[in-house]
Amino acid sequence: MQLRTTLSLILLLSLAITTNAQNDTNSIDDKQEKNSKKIKSPENYQETEVNFLMNYYDQDGDHSPVTGGQGTEELSNVAPSFVVHIPMDSLSSLDLNFGIDIYSSASTDNIDYFDTHKSSASSSDARAHLNAAYSRQLKNSPNAYSVQAGFSQEYDVSSYNFGGSYSLNSQDQNRSLSLDASYMSDSWTLLYPTELRGTSEANLSDDVRTTLKFGLSYSQVINKRLQVLFSTEVVSQSGLLSTPFHRVFFDDAFAYADNKSELATRSHIERLDDSRIKIPVSMRWSYYLSDFMRLKTFYRFYSDSWGITAHTASIELPMMLSPSFIAAPFFRYHTQTAADDFYEFGTASSSAEFYTSDYDLSDFDSYKVGIGFQYSPIMGISNFKSPFRKNKMAQLKSIGLRTAYYDRSDGLNAWLVSLNLGFTF
For each of the domains in the chain, give its residue range(s) and CATH number, in order of start.
2-47+129-395 (2.40.160)
Please give the pLDDT value at position 355.
Answer: 98
- Beta-carbon contacts of residue 272 (< 8 Å; ≥ 6 apart): 241, 242, 306, 341, 354, 356
Which of 10-24, 48-62, 238-252 is predicted least confidently? Answer: 10-24
Averaged pLDDT for residues 197-221: 95
255 vs 369, which has greater pLDDT? 369
Cα 26 to Cα 418: distance, rounded to the nearest angstrom: 15
Residues 318-370 pLDDT 10s: 999 999 999 999 999 999 999 999 999 999 999 999 999 999 999 999 999 99
Sorting pLDDT into bands at 50, 70 and 90, what band is 259? confident
Cα 374 to Cα 294: distance, rounded to the nearest angstrom: 15
Averaged pLDDT for residues 61-82: 95
Q: Which of 32-41, 110-119, 156-165, 389-398 has the highest mean pLDDT?
A: 156-165
Q: What is the CA radius of gyration of the chain?
A: 24
Percent of the chain with pLDDT over 70: 88
pLDDT value at 128 more than 50: yes
Name the percent of the chain in helix, strand, coil, to the closest 5. 10, 55, 35
For the chain, the straight-line distance linking the first and the last C-alpha, in angstroms and rounded, comes to 52
- Beta-carbon contacts of residue 408 (< 8 Å; ≥ 6 apart): 61, 364, 365, 366
Q: Is the Cβ–Cβ distance between 101 and 75 less than 8 Å?
A: no
Q: Is the Cβ–Cβ distance between 229 and 177 less than 8 Å?
A: no
Residue 328's DSSP bridge partners are: 372
Single pTM value for the model: 0.86
How many Cα atoms occupy the beta-carbon half-sphere of 224 within 13 Å?
3
What 119-125 contacts at long range (C-beta under 8 Å, 24+ apart), as own/partner pairs, is 122/155, 125/154, 125/155
Please give the pLDDT value at position 118.
Answer: 58
Averaged pLDDT for residues 35-54: 65
Averaged pLDDT for residues 49-75: 96
Backbone phi, then psi, for 371, in 5-degree steps? -150, 145
112 vs 151, which has greater pLDDT? 151
Q: What is the dihedral of CA 285, 287, 293, 299, to 10 degrees?
A: -20
Residues 83-127 pLDDT 10s: 999 999 999 999 999 999 999 998 888 898 887 655 544 578 899
pLDDT value at 38 more than 50: no
pLDDT value at 238 more than 90: yes
Sorting pLDDT into bands at 50, 70 and 90, what band is 177? very high
SS3 at position 364: strand
Alpha helices by DSSP H, listed for 215-369, are 260-264
Q: What is the DSSP string of 74-106?
A: -EEEEEEEEEEEEE-SSSEEEEEEEEEEEEEEH
Classify each residue of 145-173 as buried b or exposed e, where b means 16 or more C-beta atoms within 10 Å of its C-beta.
bbebbbebebebbebebbbbbebebbeee
pLDDT value at 37 more than 60: no
Cα 250 to Cα 422: distance, rounded to the nearest angstrom: 52
Please give the pLDDT value at position 386.
Answer: 82
pLDDT averaged over the chain? 88
Averaged pLDDT for residues 396-417: 98
Cα 421 to Cα 381: distance, rounded to the nearest angstrom: 11
Averaged pLDDT for residues 202-224: 95
Beta strands in 189-308 (DSSP E): 208-221, 226-239, 247-249, 267-269, 275-290, 293-304
155 vs 409, which has greater pLDDT? 409
pLDDT value at 274 more than 90: yes
